Structures are given as structure tokens and as C-alpha cells.
Structure 1
Amino acid sequence: MLSGRRNKRNSSVGTILAFGILILIGSCSDIYEQKEVEYLLPKGQHMSKRLGGFPNDKSGTLKSDVLDFTARFDESVRYDLGNRNQDDINKLFGFSDCNSLHHENSVRFGWRYSLVKDMVEIFSYAYTNGVVGYHHMGDIAIRETAHYQIQIVGDKFYLLLNGEMKQEVERGTNCEVGLYYKLYPYFGGDEPAPHDISIYIKEIFTQ
């Protein structure tokens, strides 16, 4: 009789321990899950602020040869500047290149709101040896989550939108050694944000 009670007690303890381990594993997996981060472009400013977590933690370098992320724009993306600055390209996300400042060598996705289409126009936006170039890559609906990727391959960047290669960009000369610091959302152009604008970015890290 005593042996039976012990077996039942040991079985119950084992079940509780197993359940506790499952909870622990589940909570640990959440630590490594990448969360969507809101970047706020405040009214009257160019630079974005990261909301939640560590608001000032926007520094960082690219640690692989691919920048991979998703992004979406909410209704706050709509704006009417009422002048030619409406056509300016804002910056979404990217990185510098060649151990230089981003106005010398860098690559980013750019964006602007189209009043006519009521959509967000997406661009490649790159500096190569101090010369800026850009190219329209496609249009994204408001609230749509799109997939963006920049690949470093030799002396070129390849920019993909929703899994489709859209643009090839030449890298600067003398880029055998690269230090890539990340470049976060920025409004402008010449004119600052006309009101608060939110962009939601989720980085994808691969080993």
C-alpha cells in the first residue's frame, strides 16, 4: 500500500516537473523571437524615435551580408505638404558601406506617400562615392506588411521587394573592408514630418 502511494506521488511530481520545463522552454523561446518595433517620426523633426524597449537604442552594425526585414505603414503615413517637397524621398531602413559616412557610401530603401495613388511608393536609395541615385521599385498599400531585403554580393547590392529582385546598385570603389552601420527611418528631404508618422519594422536575423 505504501509503495503504491509513493508511485502515485512520484508520478505526480514528475508530471509537475515536466509541465514546468515546458513552460520554461516556451518562455525562453519568446526571448529570441523578434518583435515588431514602432519607429515614430515626430512632427517637425527628421529623425525617428524607437518606441518601446530601449527608445535610444538605434545604434548597431549589420553583422551579415543581408539586411532582411518587414515593414508596414499605418494611416499616419498620409500627408500633403502642398509644395514640391511632396516628391522628396524619405528613408526607411538600410546601412552605410565602405567604412564611410552614409552620404559617401550607403544603401537604403526609400519611400514617399502618393496623394494620387493613396499608396506608399518604395524606392532604392543609395550613395556611391558621394553620388546619390534612386529608383522606383513598387507601391505598397497602407497597412500592408511588405518584405524587404538588401543583399551584399561582391561589388553590388541587390534590393528585393516581397521576394522579387527589383534593383541592382553598384557599390563604391575600394570596399574590400566594410563596416556597415544601420540607418533607421528618416523624414525628408528638406522638410520635416508634418505630423507624427509611425512605421513598424521587424528585423529578420538568420545564422
Structure 2
Amino acid sequence: MSPVFSHGDLRLYILSLLDEAPRHGYDLMQALTERTGGTYSPSAGTIYPRLSKLEEEGLVTKTVDGRKTVYEITDAGRAEVANRTGDLEGIQAGLADSVRLIADEVRGSVRDAMRSLRADLAAASREEREQAHTAPVDDARSRSREQLSRADAAITEFRGRVRSELRSHVARGGELTASGVDEIEAALRQASDAVAHAMRG
């Protein structure tokens, strides 16, 4: 998997996070994980040496707050962030491009799975209606139970396929953000509406 941050980019990005607000080390690790859609989860062994180097360079200071060490950007650190605005925008643009790619792939996977689920449910509904005209009530209920099992299996298969694709994509280095998950949720609501429509039909 290619690195999320090129050489020197992580240092600048940490500075930009501290420019937003003072943070402790664990907070920085969480922020980096969130900003990269979970594709980059830095360890303490990655973050703290860089913080120490930034402190040596006079770009950050640290204070002990109870059991936590809080890092704060200095005026010199703010000046570096301001002077490298173009570099920082390039880093953020690269992250945004990756977020859009994963969102597009997730939407495609969800759409394909929804089409398959709709087709299965529509077929089950048609078959149930056709049999209801000729079968006794008890027999119709028995067949409905069979079709319910079939629909349940289709839903389980759909859920497993989408989860597998999401996990595989993230494992390959893809990004998954809150906006991407919002779109997935919207697509799933559409699928739920399609199920309700199939049952009414």
C-alpha cells in the first residue's frame, strides 16, 4: 500500500492540526485517523518522535496537564504553516480525491447489490401472488414462509457482500469517510423503500 503522506507531509500536517487547537498525542493520532477516513492509523512510535523534533525546532511547546502532555503550536510554527499554505492545500486535495474515489466505489457496490436484491424480492412477490390465486390458505402461508426464508437469505448475502467489499477496499488502502457512509446510509434507505414497494405490489 502506498504511503498516505509523502516525505515531510506528515510533519506539516501535524503542525496544521496543532494550528487548529492544542492537542495531546492520542488526540493527534485520532485526528489523523479521522481525516484519512481510517486508512492511516499512526502509532505512538510515529507521532511522538515527530512531536519531539518539532519541539526541538521551536515549532511546538508541550505542557503536562495531569496525566496528559498537551502540545501547542508556537508563533514560529504558525509562520511555517502560513508559509507552506500551498503544500498543505496539496496534501488536503490529495486526501479529498481519495475520499471521492472510495465514495464512488461504495456507491457502485451498493447500487449493484440493491438491483440484485430488488430483482430477487420482486420475483418472490410475483411468485407468491400467482400461487395465492390457486393455493388453499394454509398452502399459501406455507409458501409465504418459504419465500420469507429466500428473501432473508438474499438480504444476508447482500449484507455480507457489501461488508466484504468495504473491508477489502479499506484494507487495500482506500479511504472511507463520514460523507461516504452518509451516502451508503441513503442508498440503504432507498433499498428499504424498494423492499416495502415490492411487498405492496
TM-score band w.r.t. shorter chain = under 0.3
Instruction: Decide which structure has the larger Cα Rg and report it.
Output: 2
Which structure shows the higher helix fraction? 2
* TM-score of the two chains, using structure 1 as the length reference: 0.24
* Higher RCO (CA 8 Å, separation ≥ 6 residues): 1
Which structure shows the higher strand fraction? 1
